[in-house]
């Protein structure tokens, strides 16, 4: 067993254990499977944060899936959103006529997801839904419809399970709060 003792010692506390995450991702996958029965899903996954969430989720969805990875960043190395989102949009991607499921790791100010939602909607998909593993309970500056949500959490900066601080901690199997 790999306990990642070195990296885990940087955490003040664990918010969600690997088992908490596994169980919730499994139930989200079941919900998505029911909702998209008979359809091909085009998953638009925001890298790098949603990498682990999307990998675990999609391996449990027993439906045909197209995976498109998109890049968006707003933190630029800090622990607070800069208020400006940079999109990396592959030149050859089109969502026209597809059932698009936009997935990200965490919804904070809503800037990232709302920007991506708007951009994908311009492509005239057949349907467009959104999902995040974590939803921070805070006043939202940017409104975005949310269809799937793993957990509601308090307004704190979290790391692990794909989420980083200055590029580190993505490989933590749990989600936690860093030592001050
Ligand atoms: P928003 O645009 O909603 O303010 O922020 C969403 C993006 O910011 C997410 O894709 C994620 O990359 C990053 N983010 C937001 N909150 C956190 C957090 O608590 N921890 C980490 N590591 N990233 C976060
Ligand atoms: Mg992100």
Q: How would you write the pLDDT of the chain (180 residues) with one tens digit per residue?
A: 556 777 888 999 999 999 999 999 999 999 999 999 999 999 999 999 999 999 999 999 999 999 999 998 776 667 777 778 888 888 889 999 999 999 999 999 999 999 999 999 999 999 999 999 999 999 888 888 999 999 999 999 999 999 999 999 999 999 999 998
Alpha carbon of 47 to ligand 2 centroid (Å): 6
Mutate to test the pocket of ligand 1, among 78, 80, 106, 177 (most ligand atoms within 8 A of CB): 106
Q: In what order do the strands lie in the sheet with 158-159?
A: 11-16, 175-178, 158-159
Q: 104 CB under 6 A from ligand 1?
A: yes
Q: Two tokens at 86?
A: 């940079």
Q: Two tokens at 30?
A: 């079941």
Alpha carbon of 9 to ligand 2 centroid (Å): 24
Alpha carbon of 24 to ligand 2 centroid (Å): 20
């Amino acid at each position: 067993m790999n306990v990642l003792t070195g990296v885990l010692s940087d955490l003040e506390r664990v918010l969600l254990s690997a088992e908490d995450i596994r169980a919730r991702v499994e139930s989200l996958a079941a919900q998505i499977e029911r909702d998209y029965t008979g359809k091909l899903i085009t998953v638009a996954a925001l890298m790098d944060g949603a990498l682990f969430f999307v990998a675990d989720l999609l391996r449990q969805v027993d439906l045909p899936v197209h995976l498109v990875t998109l890049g968006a960043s707003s933190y630029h190395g800090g622990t607070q959103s800069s208020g400006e989102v940079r999109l990396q949009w592959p030149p050859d991607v089109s969502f026209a006529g597809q059932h698009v499921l936009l997935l990200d790791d965490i919804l904070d100010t809503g800037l990232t997801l709302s920007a991506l939602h708007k951009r994908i909607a311009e492509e005239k998909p057949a349907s467009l839904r959104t999902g995040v593993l974590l939803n921070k309970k805070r006043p939202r500056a940017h409104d975005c419809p949310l269809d799937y949500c793993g957990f509601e959490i308090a307004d704190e900066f979290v790391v692990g399970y794909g989420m980083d601080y200055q590029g580190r901690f993505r490989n933590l199997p749990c989600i936690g709060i860093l030592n001050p």
